[in-house]
Structure 1
Amino acid sequence: MAGILDTVDQRTQLVGENRLEILMFRLVGRQLFAINVFKVQEVLQLPKLTLMPHRHPYVCGVVNLRGQTLPVIDLSQAIGMRPLVPSEQSTIIVTEYNRSVQAFLVGSVDRIINLNWESILPPPGGAGRQHYLTAITKVEEQIVEIIDVEKVLAEISPMSTRVSEEKLADPVLEKARGREVLLVDDSTVALNQLRETLAQLGIRTHSASDGLRALNLLKKWADEGQDMTERLLMIFTDAEMPEMDGYRLTTEIRQDPRLRDLYVVLHTSLSGSFNEAMVKKVGCDNFLSKFQPDRLVEVIRERLLRDR
């Protein structure tokens, strides 16, 4: 796998084209799983593993990688499958999500493949590991299951959704009470985090699980003659979603004269420096890394001050 991510900078050209690249891998058995390449820092053989007392059952231990101590998470066990047994031949995928870096123990890495988001579909309903999927796709007639890593990490180390008392005391936020916001994300964990935080401000929420559903909802409201900037205070959209990503959603909004003045915030677990550039490219109004309740409130405050 040496060099598998050497050209990752070139892949930023996919953004805004409703395309993505996924890294495919196996856990136990022949089933293929995947995560977005943009969240992957490197793939390597498992370094020396150090066991830690009182660790979470899904955490195998920690490794030291160039001076940084990283937890190693058994991804198979975390999504309800048979645990993997760490060895010197094991493979780890080092990733960055929500401003934290961690390694996932996997069975083997397959390859990187370039896809169109339209070929990425929501997962079927069901029990078991279906709860840990954000999407599925098909590669060479084989189903590939895309893992909801945010859900896995939230179960291991839950994030707080509480807004600080200092932020809540801001009188500007009174103008947010009773307003409506559209949330667009394929992760139920991310949607729930947003709802719980926004509820503290008295904000009502609508939600959609991908960009296409969100766009259809917005157009439906517009077709009914609603003033969209009056109806919605703002939109929070994830970047990567089945069928239509957040970048394409923003582009579509800007191209529709009934929607183009909506305030759109890119809310994502992808790296900040990358997304700040993409915000300008597709025309978002703001960027917010997951998940920061106080920073989220600051973004809402910035939006409210626009109305003055």
Structure 2
Amino acid sequence: MSKLLNSVNQRTQLAGENRLELLLFRLEDKQLYGINVFKVKKIITCPALTAMPHRHAITLGVANTMDGPLPILDLKLAIGHGNSNNVRGKSVIVAEYNRKMQGFLVDKVEHIINIQWSEIHPPPRGVGRDHYLTAISKHNNEIIEIIDVEKIIAEIMPFNEQVDAPMSQALDDAFEQQQESSGTVPNKNVLVVDDSVVARNQIKRCLEAVGFNCTLLKNGLEAYQFLENMTLEGRSPTDEYLMMISDIEMPEMDGYTLTRRVKENAEMKGLYVLLHTSLSGVFNKAMVEKVGADDFIPKFDANELANAVLERLGLKPTKSA
């Protein structure tokens, strides 16, 4: 399995080309699932687990690893398919989401495929509202389900979505100063692009609590078409939106490609783009420069998001504790 994860640097080259690599795996239900290789740190055989008091139902226990305590989550149970029958001998995908490490118990890890983001599609409408899918694709005539891991993690480790009072006051002061200096009503419209309904709503609640208006879109292709239609109508995205906050991992068109296309379009390139993602790693900084994004912050911290807005307004951000 180490050969599957031989070089993150090689995979970095895929970013910005609307491609990704998926690590394919199965649970006991035998369905084929996929996870972005950029999320994966390593794959291990499930170690001995220590049960923790008052743990969430999907947390099987904590493993003592060389990298420190690692919570092991029953992915099968998390998506509502019942408890895994046993853990001995099964694989654990160790991945990083939103700056935290988790281990996901799976039945079998298969292989890695290289795929276009355009081949990854939103879940069909018929799956309802309570599903855990963020996207689907196909490999060798078999459906691949891509799980909304952010939704799972948010249920067991809720994020703080409240902006601290000093930060909220700083935003109010910034808009008041802007209005006094320009004599116009400040632009409080933000375009939010994210395929995870949980992530979209986190950003929406955070920004609306401090007076912003949010337009929510589900992926990069939808966002680019939305912006393109604006320009065809003679409207300026830069005039109508203070900024665009975009995820990176999205079906149809990823955030890197969306950013690059926006910055290459003469009628859109002035739109301020903030990439906001659970992807980790120093490669993100290089990719921000490569595609022309204005800023990048990892998910999810309400005060960091507010800091990024302050920076967009030309004010020095306040580092949260």
TM-score interval, smaller chain: over 0.9
User: Structure 2: any 5+ residue segments left out of the alignment?
Assistant: 179-184, 316-321
Paired amino acid for 1:88: R
1:47 CA displacement: 1.1
The residue aligned with 2:57 is 57
Change over 3 Å in CA distance of 1:134–1:38 after alignment to 2: same
Paired amino acid for 2:299: K
List 4+ stretches of structure 1 deviating above 2 A.
85-88, 125-130, 173-178
1:304 CA displacement: 0.9
Paired amino acid for 2:155: E
Distance 2:126 2:109 in 1: 26
1:294 CA displacement: 0.4
Secondary structure (helix, strand or coil) at the match of 2:215 reads strand
- 1:84-103 alignment runs, 5 A limit: 84-103=84-103
1:83 CA displacement: 1.2
Change over 3 Å in CA distance of 1:178–1:257 after alignment to 2: closer
User: Structure 1: any 5+ residue segments left out of the alignment?
Assistant: none
Paired amino acid for 1:233: L
Distance 2:153 2:125 in 1: 21
Query: What is the aligned counterpart of 1:255 among 264, 270, 286?
Result: 264
1:125 CA displacement: 2.2
Paired amino acid for 2:238: T
Change over 3 Å in CA distance of 1:299–1:107 after alignment to 2: same
Distance 1:286 1:235 in 2: 11
Higher mean alpha-carbon deviation, 110-119 vs 169-178, is at 169-178
Kept after mapping to 2: 8 A contact 1:177/1:203: no
Distance 1:69 1:62 in 2: 6
Show CA shifts across 1:228-264 (max 9, x none). Answer: 2110100001001001000000111011100011100
Kept after mapping to 1: 8 A contact 2:187/2:241: no
The residue aligned with 1:199 is 208
Change over 3 Å in CA distance of 1:115–1:239 after alignment to 2: same
Show CA shifts across 1:247-282 (max 9, x none). Answer: 000111011100011100000000142211110010
Report the count of equivalent residues: 306
- 1:92-241 alignment runs, 5 A limit: 92-127=92-127, 131-170=131-170, 171-174=173-176, 175=178, 179-241=188-250
Kept after mapping to 1: 8 A contact 2:297/2:304: yes
Show CA shifts across 1:277-302 (max 9, x none). Answer: 11001000000110011011111011
1:143 CA displacement: 0.3
1:173 CA displacement: 4.3
1:64 CA displacement: 1.1
The residue aligned with 2:33 is 33
Secondary structure (helix, strand or coil) at the match of 2:131 reads helix
1:130 CA displacement: 6.6
Distance 1:204 1:147 in 2: 29
Show CA shifts across 1:201-236 (max 9, x none). Answer: 211111111100000000111111112211010000
Does residue 306 of structure 2 align to residue 304 of structure 1?
no
Higher mean alpha-carbon deviation, 174-183 vs 16-25, is at 174-183
1:29 CA displacement: 2.5
Paired amino acid for 1:264: V
Paired amino acid for 1:114: N
Secondary structure (helix, strand or coil) at the match of 2:306 reads helix
Kept after mapping to 1: 8 A contact 2:187/2:240: no
- 1:259-270 alignment runs, 5 A limit: 259-270=268-279
1:127 CA displacement: 4.6
Secondary structure (helix, strand or coil) at the match of 2:5 reads coil
Higher mean alpha-carbon deviation, 175-184 vs 2-11, is at 175-184
The share of aligned pairs that are identical, in percent, is 47
Paired amino acid for 2:195: D
Distance 2:302 2:82 in 1: 35
Paired amino acid for 1:269: S
The residue aligned with 1:275 is 284
The residue aligned with 1:245 is 254
The residue aligned with 2:301 is 292
Distance 1:61 1:129 in 2: 29
Q: Give the structure-1-normalised TM-score.
A: 0.96
